[in-house]
Amino acid sequence: MLHTLTGLARHETQVRKSRFLALAGPITSAEAASEFLQAHAHAGASHHCWAWRLGQQYRFHDDGEPGGTAGRPILQAIDGQGCDRVVVLVIRWFGGIKLGTGGLIRAYGGAAAECLRLAPKSPLRDECRVRCACPYPDIDRVQARLLAGGARIEQADYDAAGVVWHLCLPRDALPHWQALLADLTRGQGDFKVLDDA
């Protein structure tokens, strides 16, 4: 079973005089990952290496370290700890001693893995993607109910008729959401299950 984080986690370690600070947090979008990375940057640090995973989407960055020695080991730590919807930033302050390729991989991957191991986690719910069309007069009411019920809106496309949302919803609550949309839109809304989230 995959897990996500319930809040910010941090772990600090020293490797041959270099200081490594790993920070991890939950994300719901690529934009949220970027915001996390910007919010936790340290101006005086030597490197800001990171990785994130959001379902099938993932990114990683070595920030000047030799290719494959920082971002990829951080991503492997995310996967190895069974995490999803997570971003991990490992900040390095260079201590004057080069660590070599193997040393960097162990330092970045190890800091990320330990940070995630200690982090507060919760199991991810089984979700599926849904396309939901809603006419203009009902948008505010339906969106408020969706968000209050824990739906994740991945995309919103507006046209002359209203909005088409691409949502992630709990699989076991699909009949409830379909009935609720029909009720709130007086049968004018459209609800179609697309695929697994």
Residue that the structure tokens 């088409």 belong to: 164
- Please state the domain extents for the chain: 3-123, 127-196
Residue (of 146, 120, 116) closest to 53 by Cα position: 116
What phi-psi label fits residue 85: left (phi over 0), alpha (psi between -120 and 50 degrees) or beta? left
pTM of the complete model: 0.69
Residue with tokens 């697994």: 196
Q: What is the pLDDT of residue 196?
A: 54
> Distance between CA atoms of 5 and 178, rounded to whole angstroms?
29
Longest dimension (CA), the chain: 68
CA dihedral over 87, 88, 93, 98, signed as positive or negative: negative
Which pair of tokens denotes residue 133?
A: 């069309």
Per-residue pLDDT of the chain (197 residues; tens, 9 = 90+): 789 999 999 999 999 999 999 999 999 889 999 999 999 999 999 999 999 998 888 999 999 999 999 999 999 999 999 999 999 999 999 988 899 999 999 999 999 999 999 999 988 777 788 999 999 999 999 999 888 877 888 889 999 999 999 988 877 778 888 898 899 899 998 999 887 54
Determine the Cα–Cα distance for residues 197 and 31; give it in Å rounded to an integer.
18
Spatial distance between the Cα atoms of 30 and 73, rounded to a whole number of angstroms: 19
- Strand arrangement of the beta sheet that strand 18-26 belongs to: 9-15, 18-26, 86-93, 47-54, 57-61
Question: In this structure, what token pair is assigned to residue 146?
Answer: 């969706």
3-state SS assignment for residue 91: strand
Looking at domain 127-196, which CATH architecture does it have? 2-Layer Sandwich (3.30)
Report the CATH fold assignment for 3-123: Ribosomal Protein S5; domain 2 (3.30.230)
**Parallel, antiparallel, or unpaired: how do β-strands 9-15 and 18-26 relate?**
antiparallel
Give residue 55's pLDDT: 82
CATH fold match for the domains 3-123 and 127-196: no
pLDDT at 5 (0 to 100): 92
Contact 114, 61 (CB under 8 A): no
